[in-house]
Every structure is written in C-alpha cells, then in structure tokens.
Amino acid sequence: MRLVIQDTYDDVSLWAAKYVKRRIIDFSPGPDNFFTLGLPTGSTPIGMYKKLVEFYKDGSLSFKYVKTFNMDEYVAIPRDHPESYHSFMWNNFFKHIDIDPQNAHILDGNAKDLIGECNAFEEKIKNAGGIRLFIGGIGPDGHIAFNEPGSSLVSRTRVKSLAQETILANARFFDNDLSQVPTQALTVGVGTVMDADEVMILITGAHKAFALHKAIEEGVNHMWTVSAFQQHPRTIFLCDEPATNELRVRTVKYFKGLMELHNKMLEEAV
C-alpha cells in the first residue's frame, strides 16, 4: 500500500490524472489491446477528470483504446436526470473525450432485470480481461462505491438498498422531495474492485480525515469498507493535506519520505 500526500485538492487532481495518463501510455493500448479503467463519480474526482480532458485536448492522451467501467448508478432514476451517474460521466468526462461509446460501461439502474444487469456487468469486466486500474473515492464513513458500512468485503456487483442517512442526505439533489430520492443503487462490490490489478483511492478534505485514518491506520474492518484495500497488493491512497489531519505524525512523515519514489511513478519509462 502506498500513501501519496499532495498539498491541495488541485495537486491531488493533477497527480491522479498524470498517473492515469502514465498507466495508459505505458500500456500502449491498441485495437486488440484495450486499457481497462474503473471510474468513480462524486465531487472528489471532478478535478482529475478536468485534467484528463486537458490531456486529451492538448493531444497528449487518447481514450480511443480505453474501456471504462463505472462503479455504480442509482436505481430507477431517469438516465438523463442531472443527478444520475450517467449525466455526471457525460458532462464531466465522456462528452469531452474521444472514447468510443461502445466502450463506456455504466450500470443501467433502469434495467428490467437488475440482478441480471449486475451479473452481466461482472461478465463484461471479465471479458475485457479485468480492470487494469480502478479509481475510487470514499465517503466520510469510509465506504467505497455504494458498499456502505457493514458490506461484505468479498461482495460482487449487486443491488444495494441505500442507508437512510444517504437517502436523507441526497434529498437536497431532488428538490427535497423524499419520494424522488432513489432508495437503491447498483454497485460493484468490494471484491470486484479488489480484483483490479491496481487501485487508486482519492481522498480530499478534512471531512474525510477520519475515514482515511480508519482506512490505513487500523485493521481491515467491514464497517470501513475502504480498509479492505490495505490487503490489495497495488493500492495507492492519494490524499491532500487536510485529509491527513487524523493520521499519526509518524505515518505522514514516513509516506512523505517516500514522495520522491512515488513521483518517479509519473515519469516516462526510459
């Protein structure tokens, strides 16, 4: 496990985007050799998406031979609802880049057979050869995707009922009308993400500091589902300074000492 600490949110965004770019370019994807990328939604990754779009626009990165798999989507909200993860991905990423629509996979929360949709998603990941790099964010309670506290750490893609707190917190996005707020979501499981060759978790802001502490300084615990990635052989936790507020000084010092090494990962292969 690596912990990469950057000064600010913008630095985190840039580092994450550079890392994704590095990984894609080093893979040298082509028509018979697609790079597979797992993607999150939410406010944390927006800056990273912006940077990736800039790389595409300046010609230094193409998504032509990239397949993407999104972590989750609400059940039964219109695909074009502004709060849907389809809308999020379209507006923040897909509409700006050259990805082939056939290669952008998002769970369909309006599928007639939701379980079938989840199983098919796992199948699509498998057929694509698994995920090379899965990027995730976490909630203040340490959940990854919709694997809320208490979720199984070997779970696969499935239908999840949302916690009452999540539903209440989401009401503000739906005109404060609780009847409009989705109560279920489709989500990849912790096990689905664990299967990726590499995982990068973005954590920014002081309100995520306790979650970061739980994620890396204590044992694996299904009440803090992101802690499972301590056991993943290639996981990077990427955070800003405020997110380190709850970490031990020793932890921070140790990982800052490794920054030179971490930054080498962004450099071009010789």
What residue ranges bind another protein (CB under 8 A)? Answer: 64, 79-80, 86-87, 90, 94-95, 100-102, 104, 106
Cβ proximity to another protein: between 106 and 131 the closer is: 106
Rounded to a whole number of angstroms, the minimum distance from the CB of residue 109 to another protein is 12
Q: Is 54 a catalytic residue?
A: no
Cβ proximity to another protein: between 95 and 126 the closer is: 95
Q: Is 72 a catalytic residue?
A: yes
Q: Is 105 a catalytic residue?
A: no
Rounded to a whole number of angstroms, the minimum distance from the CB of residue 86 to another protein is 6
- Per-residue tokens: 17: 């985007």
| Catalytic residue of the set 122, 148, 195, 240 | 148
Rounded to a whole number of angstroms, the minimum distance from the CB of residue 267 to another protein is 32
Cβ proximity to another protein: between 104 and 196 the closer is: 104
Q: Is 177 a catalytic residue?
A: no
| Catalytic residue of the set 73, 86, 122, 143 | 143
* Residue positions annotated with a catalytic role: 72, 141, 143, 148
